[in-house]
Structure 1
Amino acid sequence: MMVRAGLLLGLVLIVFSLGKSPVFRVDRAGAAIIAATLMVGLGVLDFAGAIRAIDFRTLLILFFMMIVIANLKVAGFFDLIGSVLLRRVATRRQLLLAVIFISGGLSAVCINDIVCLLFTPIVLLVCAKARCNPLPHLLGVAIASNIGSAATFLGNPQNILIASLSGVPFLTYFRTALPVALAGLACAYWVIARLYRRELQGPLPALEQDRVGCHRYLAFKSLIVLALVIAGYIAGQDLALTSSLGAAFLLITRRVKPNKIYASIDFNLLIIFAGLFVLVGGLEQSGLARLLVREAARWVDLQNRAVFALLTVALSNLVSNVPAVLLLKFFLPETGAAAWWQALALFSTFAGNLTITGSIANLIVVEIAKRHNVRIGFADYLKAGLPVTLITSLLGLVFFHWLS
């Protein structure tokens, strides 16, 4: 069983590393489905064991939060932000600063992948109207969305997963991560502004404002519901319950067709999560997970937070954040588990800024830009992402050392 589980793990890691199968037309979601099916078909897990391995609570939280954010999209909330951007900023450097802190701030309370999906076209439109190079601003969207999402357990899929697995309270993590995330956003601005100082010189031209089609009632209603979901979570209520109540309330409407909301739900991500839960359940059942922990402990000091941070950054870039978290949970020391879970959330998120393939959020920005004839190359991203990842990870290490 251990060999079968190891082979399936290896095949999934290859597909997740490359983004697709090198032979067949199989993407990450397909690889997760195939691996989960074979875990049962090859006898590593029985069907009941596969069902038990799936953390339905995490899937429900992701699903319901997507419904809440989809209502903001349909209301035109993100278009309104673009309009405010054009009215409030006067120079290209101010535009970059605003893009970074808006992207980071939204990603702290909304899933960063969705923020990039909705905010990137708006930034492209703003840059086209302002007749400025969109590249530094697009890098700002991607990099800031990763950093900002590290501030809370609601910011990205892997942090939602960690919140579900660890049981660490929202405010406990928020107090730890917020100072590092804010310093990280300032660092991102400094790095990008230095790299593109020529492109960011000068004022923005005076522009006529287009009328924005924002449904203010729906936007206000959705923001109130999002605030109540977060407030309930902070107060100690189950996030699965608060998010489900919020989503259910927003679905009771005479103004919005349900299909408009459902079209904004990332079902691919939910499928990936379900498949990976079964895969990891097979690793535990076969004994391979325990073997990997024992062998790793022989070669590296997993009690050293710097080593753990390096391992997290490397593995997150090798196989993507969510699979990395599901694998690294086996390596967490039992003493002071809450602090290690928080470190995993922070470093696995900062790791997404290292390369263009480091997080799904980056790829979303790149693909949307490509459709608008703006190319973000691997080297373009790396020269900004590498220093930002190094600095933010170092800040995280220093801060955790100070806390301990």
Structure 2
Amino acid sequence: MYTSVIIFILVYLAMGLGKLPYFNVDRTGAALLGALALIVAGRISPEAAWAAIDYKTIWLLFGLMVISGAFTLSGFYDWTAFKVASLPLKPSMLLAVIIIMGAVLSSLLTNDVVVLSMSPLLVSVTLARRLNPVPFLLAFCFAANAGSAGTLIGSPQNMIIAQALDLSFNQFFLWAGLPAILSLLLIWAILNLQFKNKWTLATPQKTSQASIGFKLDHVEVIKAGIVATIVIIALILDIWPKEIVALAGAGVLLLNRSLSSQDVLKQVDGNLLLLMIGLFICNQAIANTGLIQSLFASLKEIGFDINHPLSLYAVSAILSDLVGNNPAVMLLTPYIPHNEFSALLGASLALATGFSSNLIIFGSLAGIIVVEQAAKCGIQISFGAFARSGVPVTLATLLLGVIWILAAHVYIQI
């Protein structure tokens, strides 16, 4: 048992720090090493390790990554970012449009891919307009994290939650959609207030037109759009298994005469898939010891019962900022009961991890991507600058979530 505990702690320490202390091993490497160590040490058999991997979640995420990758290669994200950022609107209204764009695209096409694809062009276009890119980038990041919390396909952690609790697309949106939408108003209000007189740079920078060049493949955009629409409709109808729907859509897009399947598959985040596989095995090994169950029982004695939506909301919000969204969700979901509160519990977990992601730069992959992409364009967003906006946004949206969960919990009990 002690071997399992030590390995588990080291793996989740790496999740929190971003790498294994004293080694050049990132989160994915730590998860895989942990899984391998547990198997070699005999703490989990190879057969049990294989069975611990939730292949349905892996296939669902893989299929949706391929679909989103087709949009990336077709130039759709670049074109959308350019068109939106070029709208002849005053800064406060442009901020609102960018928030809506980030939320809508992220809720339908997976937030991290959307942020990675669109951030560089947002920087270039705002600089070309002599605007300060920071408020628009932060708004885009915050909206992507908060808005994506409202749908089953908005983020990897949402897919894990939906598969683990067997929630349909409609159930997920019913319980998480409205607070995710309302959070966008809070994001706009807070950033609009903070940057009211800071819409332009003190020292204007000019970007070259080459840096905002892109090529839009109309045929591939239409094809990807049709496939994505059919996939979303199929998910809403909930007739076929979610992972089969996603894989079917991916298969159609991979069978292509224009885009190379190799190029499309490069858009798949293989590191994330491997990280999830490693964590599935590590979590199962520690579950076999009974320690996690004992921990949750102890928490219940002091009032933190994860079977209660509000307690789960608080625990997952804290845990996601300590070890990351996906690891936190993967650790918690096996212990959430399947009952009349399952949908609300799933929504609580999604909203907590989505809203708390905006606290600090390292709270989400989207935050890291935005800061790194801005730095490549000469725009520095410091830890403090991010937190000055991220902290009030996170607190306001988390409070919104608390109000929603309390009201929904009372409604279910009536």
Q: TM-score, normalised by structure 2?
A: 0.92
1:258 pairs with 261, 264, 282, which one? Answer: 261
Identity of aligned residues (%): 30
Point out where structure 2 has 5 or more consecutive residues left out of the alignment: 202-206
Matching of residues 238-277 of structure 1 within 5 Å: 238-277=241-280
Query: What's 2:347 paired with?
Result: 342
Give the count of matched residue pairs.
400
Q: Deviations over 1:300-336 (max 9, x none)?
A: 3315543332211110000001111122225535652
The partner residue of 1:398 within 386, 389, 403 is 403
Q: Which residue does 1:214 correspond to in 2? A: 216
Give the letter aligned to residue 363 of structure 1. Answer: I
Aligned to 1:26, the other structure's residue is in SS state coil
1:324 to 314, 323, 328: 328
Structure 1 counterpart of 2:234: 232
Q: Aligned equivalents of 1:191 and 1:91: distance in 2? A: 17
Deviations 1:246-296 (A, max 9, x none): 111111111112222122111110010000000111012222222222222
**Counterpart Cα distance in 1 of 2:321 and 2:292:** 20
The structure-2 alpha-carbon separation of the partners of 1:211 and 1:279, relative to structure 1 and needing over 3 Å to count, comes to: closer
Q: Which residue of 2 aligns with 1:37?
A: 36
Find the aligned partners of 1:242 and 1:321 in 2 and give their Cα distance. Answer: 25
Q: Residues 289 and 330 of structure 1 are in contact (CA less than 8 Å); yes or no, is this contact kept in structure 2?
A: no
Moved more, 282-291 or 148-157: 282-291
Q: Which residue of 2 aligns with 1:353?
A: 358
Q: Does 1:299 align with 2:280?
A: no
Q: Does 1:287 align with 2:286?
A: no
Q: Give distance in 2, aligned partners of 1:338 and 1:135.
A: 36
Structure 1 range deviating more: 108-117 or 292-301:
292-301
Q: Indicate yes or no: 2:49 matched with 1:46.
A: no
Q: Structure 1 residue 214: deviation in Å?
A: 0.7
Tell me the CA shift for residue 131 of structure 1. Answer: 1.2
Tell me if the contact between 1:309 and 1:393 (Cα under 8 Å) persists in the aligned partners: no
Contact between 2:172 and 2:343, CA under 8 Å: does it hold in 1?
Answer: no
Deviates more, 1:364-373 or 1:68-77: 364-373
- Alpha-carbon contact 1:184-1:392 (below 8 Å) kept: yes
CA contact (8 A) 1:92 1:201 kept: no
2:12 corresponds to which residue? 13
Residue 75 of structure 2 contacts residue 217 of structure 2 at CA under 8 Å; is this kept in 1?
Answer: yes
For 2:199, give the aligned amino acid: L
- Distance (Å, rounded) in 1 between the aligned partners of 2:378 and 2:303: 45
User: Are the aligned partners of 1:232 and 1:242 in contact in 2 as well (CA < 8 Å)?
Assistant: yes
Q: Secondary structure at the match of 1:286?
A: coil
Q: RMSD over aligned Cα, in angstroms? A: 2.0
- Equivalence for 1:66: 65
Tell me the secondary structure at the aligned position of residue 131 of structure 2: coil
Gap runs ≥5 in structure 1: none
Q: Tell me whether 1:309 sits opposite 2:313 in the alignment.
A: yes
Partner Cα distance (1:223, 1:100) in 2? 21
> Match for 1:234: what amino acid?
I
Opposite residue 279 of structure 1, the aligned amino acid is: C
Residue of structure 2 in register with 1:110 after alignment: 109
Contact 1:229 1:239 in 2 (8 A): no
Name the residue aligned to 2:204.
Answer: none
Distance in 1 (CA, whole Å) between partners of 2:61 and 2:179 is 25
Distance in 2 between residues matched to 1:66 and 1:132, nearest whole Å: 32
Select between 73-82 and 44-53 the one with higher mean Cα deviation.
Answer: 73-82
- Amino acid of the residue matched to residue 285 of structure 1? N
Deviation string 1:200-244 (CA, Å, 9 cap, x unpaired) is: 379xxxx99987521111101101101111111111121111111
